[in-house]
Amino acid sequence: MESDGNARNRLAGATDAHGCDTNPWTECVNPTLLISYGDCYTKARIEVFPASCYYTALIPDTGASLQGSPRAAAWGFLLLGGQLANRVCFLVDGFNVYHSVVAAQAGRKGASMKWLDLRALCESYLSSIGGGATLQRVFYFSAYMDWIPDKAARHATYVAALRATGVEVQLHRFKEKEVWCKVCKKAYVHHEEKETDVAIAVKLLELCAVDACETIVIVTGDTDLAPAIRTAKVLWGSKQIWVLFPFARHNAELKLIAHGHLKMKARRYLSYQLPNPVKVSATDLIWKPTTW
């Protein structure tokens, strides 16, 4: 068995000799996948190599990269219908979605939409993303409004329900800030959500860095995430960064810089509600807050 370095050098000089019929390792019982490209660097071919002969294939850029052409580990990819799987992670901006739901409810009297099944909702967009998209993980980012105990309690109930469905929750905080009103000439306390945008941005870069998926969909209409999207595109040209705009939260800048975008409609919220109660176990049930 030749070394990784020798295998790499031999294959690099044989762009027209990648057919499996000339591959000395095709009879190996422990195959893995290798991505190779033709002379024009436009069309990928899938080949079979043993895991013991690990090979890192050079994948051409889909955009400018500070590191040059990104390298992708060729083994470990899943094969679906003869194509590489498109693992998709969703990053949900909790309050952006919440305010969107409130706006959607206002337009449909008597509608109840806050008991939203985020995992099922995200999964419903996979066919629109295409490329053999499969749901990998869903992350939910938010913070409790602790200065309003009843709201915080309802939110905590919803978070517990999300966790029961497999959504990964990251909670952050609000910071008190004294604001001076020029009209009434008084100071009042304002609460600002802190860390959530940064947490989403960091998670985006983390998922790219550890090759956790091929596509990342950010569910938000917040322009503050634009720098993180640009950075991810520059550093990881092979990753697809999409934006899913909540109802009434469309953003022209994010649409422009993302690889793809989708827009929710209000009726989508109605179609994807959690069961009531959410069953955690035979004896552990999570009920929807009565005021929802």
Q: Where are the domains of the chain?
A: 4-77, 86-286
Predicted confidence at residue 190, as pLDDT, reads 60
Residue that is written with structure tokens 């219908």 in the block: 81
Predicted confidence at residue 179, as pLDDT, reads 75
How far is residue 128 from each of residues 240, 252, 254, 269, measured CA to CA in Å?
14, 20, 18, 17
Predicted confidence at residue 85, as pLDDT, reads 84
The list of the chain residues with pLDDT below 50 reads 1-2, 4-82
194's tokens: 């802190």
Pairing mode, if any, of strands 186-194 and 215-219? unpaired
Please give the Cα distance from 96 to 186 (Å, whole number): 29
Predicted confidence at residue 265, as pLDDT, reads 95
- CA 2 centroid distance within chain: 39
Residue 148 CB contacts under 8 Å (≥ 6 apart), including other chains: none
Class of CATH domain 86-286: alpha beta
CB of 275 within 8 A of CB of 161? no
Predicted confidence at residue 86, as pLDDT, reads 96
Residue 86 CB contacts under 8 Å (≥ 6 apart), including other chains: 129, 130, 131, 132, 133, 134, 214, 215, 240
Does the pTM exceed 0.75? no
- CA 7 centroid distance within chain: 35
